[in-house]
Amino acid sequence: MNNNKRAFTETKIYPIVFMILVAAIFGAILSVFYHATKEKVALHAELRLKTAILSLFDLPQEDVEISYLEHIKEKQIAGLDYYVAVSNDSTLGYCFHVTGSGMWGTITALLALDTDFKEIIGLTILDQNETPGLGGRITEEKFQSQFSGKKIRENQEIVYYRLIDESEQASELEINQITGATSSSKAVVDIIYENLQNIIFIIAEKDDKYYE
């Protein structure tokens, strides 16, 4: 009868126990780092958001916190959060969070509209997971700036911008798509169209003068 005992490291269960221990250790380390940096990440995200809103309205950004408090008012109407930009007691426009599906994940952006809700002041992509070098180019100024000055309604209907080749001259109702990234370009157009439907519906419901 063989009474020799095998070392635990030689048993079949050892690799399982070892992997569990390693996973637990690295999980604990990641948890510590997450909680240690959570507040800093949140503050950075907040600063980035405030800077983006100020930038859309060409407002001062030397001291973001002071400028934001002076020029941006946070509002809500019928469950819709938005921002009002003001300067010298005059309203410059309104800014809304807009989100939707991209090719590989959610695209989040800020959409600034004029006070009459007739045209886009500007668009800034905040977060996206599109293909780097292709769909990821939706964050480029060249693409985003195309939406500035575009009218959002025609015959009281929300405009759906037609995508054309990047090399062509775009009309008032057209957007130059990114070459090799038609899906991502279309996703941005879809997001603007779909979110505007909701924004305009809520504003129209609350403001009888909207359609005058």
| Domain extent listing, the chain | 70-206
Specify the pLDDT at position 189. 97
Q: pTM for this one?
A: 0.79
Q: How, if at all, do strands 120-127 and 106-113 pair?
A: antiparallel
Q: How many CB atoms lie within 10 A of CB 98?
A: 22
Cβ–Cβ < 8 Å for 179, 86: no
* Cα gap 199→94, rounded to integer Å: 11
* Cα gap 112→125, rounded to integer Å: 12
Specify the pLDDT at position 211. 40
Q: What's the pLDDT tens digit per position in 61-120?
A: 999 999 999 999 999 988 899 999 999 989 999 999 999 999 999 999 999 999 999 999
Specify the pLDDT at position 206. 64
List the one residue out of 176, 126, 118, 122 whose CA is nearest residue 152: 118
Phi, psi of 116 (to 5 degrees): -95, 0
What's the DSSP call for residue 135?
A: G
* Averaged pLDDT, groups of 10, the chain, 212 residues long: 64 80 81 70 86 96 95 92 94 96 95 94 96 95 96 91 94 94 96 95 66 39
Question: How distant is the alpha carbon of residue 45 from its chain centre?
Answer: 12
Specify the pLDDT at position 212. 38
